[in-house]
Amino acid sequence: RFITVSQFTKSKISTLFGVNQKDILVSYNGLSDEYYYQNYSNISRQNKQIIYVGDLDSRKNTYKILDIALELKNINFVFVISRVDPSQSTDIFFKKANDFNNVRICRSLTESELIQEYRSSDASISLSSYEGFGMTLLESAACGCHVFCSRLSPHVEVVDIAKINSYTFINLDESIQII
């Protein structure tokens, strides 16, 4: 018997390893109560801000999100980088990000600090080209953020099962116009 976090990964496990889908249980990830904030009107949002949380990895399209930030100078972008892919050169990303006043990079945040960053943001963005679940969609929605995300099966699944009601599916080509 197998346990996985989404219907998408269930399908992948079944296909890759020849496991009968009846032998795979989906148990969705959850959040600690600390993420849920009921009185969103009390959140102090001084300037428009979009948050990205995740790895600095080509499948996450982080460089595309940075390009969006550089074009939308009237919106602040916070990049919470959890892991840097060691096989990729990241010097260009950090140098480019440091050249603009509307981009801030955060690393090694505690869970409480991460929640505060979400709560200070109007929206989150996830333009992944591959994802197993999409935990950041749950986190940001629980903190009152609008969710901009790519139309991946796991993202669609998370939006549906979590009943996220403030979201926009976007593709990379139209992302700047929609945001």
* pLDDT tens, residue by residue, 2-18: 999 999 999 999 999 99
pLDDT digits (tens, 9 = 90+) for 124-179: 999 999 999 999 999 999 999 999 999 999 999 999 989 998 999 998 777 777 88
Q: 62-71 vs 91-98: helix axis angle to the nearest 10?
A: 20
Average pLDDT of the residues in 78-106: 89
Q: How far is CA 32 from CA 35, 100, 112, 115, in A?
A: 6, 34, 11, 11
Asked if residues 117 and 143 have their Cβ atoms less than 8 Å apart, the reply is no
Q: Concatenated DSSP letters for 19-33?
A: --GGGEEE------G
* Rounded Cα distance, 9 and 18, in Å: 13
**Residue 150 — left, alpha, or beta (φ > 0 → left; ψ -120 to 50 → alpha)?**
beta
**How many residues belong to the chain?**
179
126 burial via Cβ count (<10 Å: 0-12, 13-18, 19+): buried
Give the predicted TM-score (pTM) of the model.
0.88
| Predicted pLDDT of residue 89 | 78
Confidence of residue 38 (pLDDT cuts 50, 70, 90): low
Average pLDDT, the chain: 90
* Rounded Cα distance, 42 and 165, in Å: 20
| Predicted pLDDT of residue 172 | 77
| Predicted pLDDT of residue 115 | 94
**Selection from 173, 147, 150 nearest residue 162 by Cα:** 147
Asked if residues 26 and 10 have their Cβ atoms less than 8 Å apart, the reply is yes
Residue 110 pLDDT more than 90? yes
pLDDT digits (tens, 9 = 90+) for 113-128: 999 999 999 999 999 9
